[in-house]
Amino acid sequence: MAVSQVYLRYAMGIKMNKKWWHNTIGYQIYPKSFQDSNGDGIGDIKGIIQHLDYFKELGINVIWICPVYKSPMVDHGYDISDYEQIDPSFGSNEDLDELILEADKRGIKILMDLVVNHTSDQHEWFQKAMEDLHSKYADYYIIKEGSKGEPPNNWRSIFGGSAWERIGNTNKYYLHIFTKEQPDLNWENKELRELLYDMVNRWLEKGLGGFRIDAISHIKKDFNYKNLPADGKDGLASGWDHFSNVEGIEIFLKELKEKTFNVYECFTIGEVNDVKPEELKRYLGEDGYFSSIFDFCHTNHRVRDKKWVNNPIEMVNELRSLLFSKQEYANGYGLLCNIIENHDLPRAIDRFIPEKYINYYSKTMLGAINFFLKGIPFIYQGQEIGMRDYPKKKIEEFKDPTTYNNYYEHVSRGDLEENVMGKINIETREHSRTPMQWTDNKNAGFSEGIPWFEVNPNFKEINVRKQYNDSKSLLAFYKKMIAVRKRKDLEETFINGETVPKYMESSGVIAYERVRDNQRILVINNCNNASITLELQEDIKDVLLNNYDQIMLDQSDIKIMPFQVVVMEMQ
């Protein structure tokens, strides 16, 4: 989209009505690994309650919690067997009520994960469907006849293997685009949809701030079940275009919003991939299906990949283009959620910073790169203290089904074991799921018992307690950064101001202005391990944030040190 089109949208008066969540600083919790309160080695809801004052001091006002519903935990809670009950490993429904109440006292809203593309195969609906394939429950799922003793087609599950599972000795199969223990729901069934909407509203009535909606782009399927050209040795095909953002999904998403989200003033974040620019207005903002969606543009970039290992600045330049492109086409429609980490990604420090350049300056600069872009910044647990990847020596040390699927896929190609483990240690999402590092005590203060997943041995050096009173720590920098973002005199510019890229001719520099009326805020991130000199267009009114002790000026020039980030209000 041309920049002139972006400005045209503003000239036509397209702007957002103020919502309570527009000035959000979000924090994502992976509850299994956050804080164990009862010594069973698994994080729980009471553990979250213990740290609510920590969030308030940090400046957080929205917390998104990954699934805590009843579940067999095949996919760590994303396989739900009862939407109405909290899993005993996390506590009770009463614990969640207490969390909502105590968070609200501190000005914090709680978001839960909403997983309605699929259920667990242990869900009552699926169990009844399997008991009687002619019952109404069978139509709650996607069940089809096989073809000549084979599945209905050759779609591959996102987690590997066929997306179809045979039902006993019948010629019928059920669809699962994730694990076979996560059968997909049939959103074509109106009765099922109404049950889901009622469930959503019961949770919102409890006082939830809203939801992050998982895998929602997959709820509509293209029911043309012809085989696709195989794209692997397994004879299967990804089928992505047939179960992601399929035409007709808008009917379901509009209905979901009208019957649930619109009834309450709630904040919703859609996990939606690959939305085309021309379709974004359907998904995002006041007239969209969701309040916001995540900006995933950077998630496939890893500095240790062969493509970038010897030229990390080229990766930075590509990321810069992607970030600004997303800003440009979202402008005038709504606010993206800006992240660098989540539970499905390796840790950002290891993804983006070459090992030899990891230090206080590069870590603080990384945290600030997209924090001041237009949108809603979200921090993932441990990001604020610089938690790192925890490479493993053997595949048996991992827990996640997708890690094993990736491992076996590499092995099937004939890769050597050591090479496969090297790739897995770069790719796996389990690095982000190691227990939160609170102290340098036993198990990093996460649990008095045996943690469900091994604590990263670096917890003696990287933990909240060590950084808490250190003014030069990463945690202290995050507090400062959040405080700047929430300043009342800057708030409207950070929420509604345009994003104007700057210094694009300078390689390895991600810089932009946030502009609204007569206020201009310049953000400069130097991703180079070398100083650079830039010409300032205006005088500096105020230095809002700086990860160095000083700024070096020479008339109209500013010298930016290696990995320096500086945020300035300009005259």
Three-state DSSP state, 149: coil
Once rounded to an integer, what is the mean pLDDT over residues 257-266?
96
Burial class (CB in 10 A: 0-12, 13-18, 19+), 384: buried
531-535, long-range: CB < 8 A, 24+ apart: 531/559, 531/560, 531/561, 531/562, 532/506, 532/508, 532/559, 532/560, 533/557, 533/558, 533/559, 533/560, 534/503, 534/506, 534/509, 534/558, 534/560
Whether the predicted pLDDT of 402 surpasses 90: no
User: What would the two tokens of residue 532 be?
Assistant: 């650079």
Give the CA radius of gyration of the chain: 24
Burial class (CB in 10 A: 0-12, 13-18, 19+), 48: buried
| Planar angle of CA 270, 67, 119, nearest 5 degrees | 85
| C-alpha dihedral, 568 to 293 to 75 to 464, nearest 10° | 20
How far does CA 392 lie from the centroid of its chain? 24
Q: What percent of the chain has pLDDT over 70?
A: 97
Asked if 95 is an active-site residue, the reply is no
pLDDT at 382: 98
In Å, how far are 118, 119, 295, 395 from 161, measured between CA atoms? Answer: 17, 19, 28, 19
Spatial distance between the Cα atoms of 15 and 496, rounded to a whole number of angstroms: 8
- For the chain, the maximum distance between any two Cα atoms, rounded to a whole number of angstroms, is 81
User: What would the two tokens of residue 131 be?
Assistant: 């008991």
Residue 437 · residue 460 · CB < 8 Å: no
Whether the predicted pLDDT of 479 surpasses 70: yes
Whether the predicted pLDDT of 4 surpasses 60: no
Q: Which of 214, 295, 341, 569 is flagged as catalytic?
A: 214
User: What would the two tokens of residue 31 be?
Assistant: 């509850």
Asked if 389 is an active-site residue, the reply is no
Condensed to tens digits (0 to 9), the pLDDT of residues 43-86 reads 999 999 999 999 999 999 999 999 999 999 999 999 999 999 99
| Planar angle of CA 447, 453, 457, nearest 5 degrees | 80
In Å, how far are 19, 24, 337 from 269, measured between CA atoms? Answer: 14, 12, 8
Condensed to tens digits (0 to 9), the pLDDT of residues 513-566 reads 999 999 999 999 999 999 999 999 999 999 999 999 999 999 999 999 999 999
pLDDT at 15: 57
Task: Mark out the alpha helices in 174-232 (DSSP H runs).
Answer: 190-205
pLDDT at 405: 85
Q: Which of 165, 271, 341, 427 is flagged as catalytic?
A: 271
Spatial distance between the Cα atoms of 79 and 284, rounded to a whole number of angstroms: 27
Q: What percent of the chain has pLDDT over 90?
A: 88
All domains in the chain, ordered by first residue: 3-116+190-227+239-394+435-482 (3.20.20.80), 395-433 (no CATH), 499-570 (2.60.40.1180)
The mean pLDDT value of the chain amounts to: 94
Q: Which helix (H) or strand (E) holds 478?
A: helix 474-485
Condensed to tens digits (0 to 9), the pLDDT of residues 13-51 reads 345 688 999 999 999 999 999 999 999 999 999 999 999
How far does CA 174 lie from the centroid of its chain? 29
| Planar angle of CA 469, 352, 324, nearest 5 degrees | 105
Once rounded to an integer, what is the mean pLDDT over residues 92-101?
98
pLDDT at 9: 41
Strand intervals (E) in 225-380: 267-270, 292-293, 337-338, 376-380
Spatial distance between the Cα atoms of 544 and 153, rounded to a whole number of angstroms: 57
With tokens 């099922």, the residue in question is 192
| Neighbour-count burial for 353-377, b at 16+ CB within 10 Å, e otherwise | bbeebbeebbbbbbbbbbbbbbbbb
Question: Which residues does residue 519 pair with via DSSP β-bridges, in sequence order?
Answer: 516
pLDDT band at 232 (very low <50, low <70, confident <90, very high): confident
Q: Which helix (H) or strand (E) holds 119?
A: none
Spatial distance between the Cα atoms of 80 and 490, rounded to a whole number of angstroms: 42
Whether the predicted pLDDT of 379 surpasses 80: yes
How far does CA 4 lie from the centroid of its chain? 31
pLDDT at 286: 85
pLDDT band at 6 (very low <50, low <70, confident <90, very high): very low
For residue 530, the number of C-alpha atoms closer than 13 Å in the C-beta half-sphere is 6
pLDDT at 13: 38
Spatial distance between the Cα atoms of 182 and 199, rounded to a whole number of angstroms: 19
Spatial distance between the Cα atoms of 294 and 329, rounded to a whole number of angstroms: 14
Condensed to tens digits (0 to 9), the pLDDT of residues 317-354 reads 999 999 999 999 898 889 999 999 999 999 999 999 99
User: What would the two tokens of residue 187 be?
Assistant: 């959103």
pLDDT band at 410 (very low <50, low <70, confident <90, very high): confident
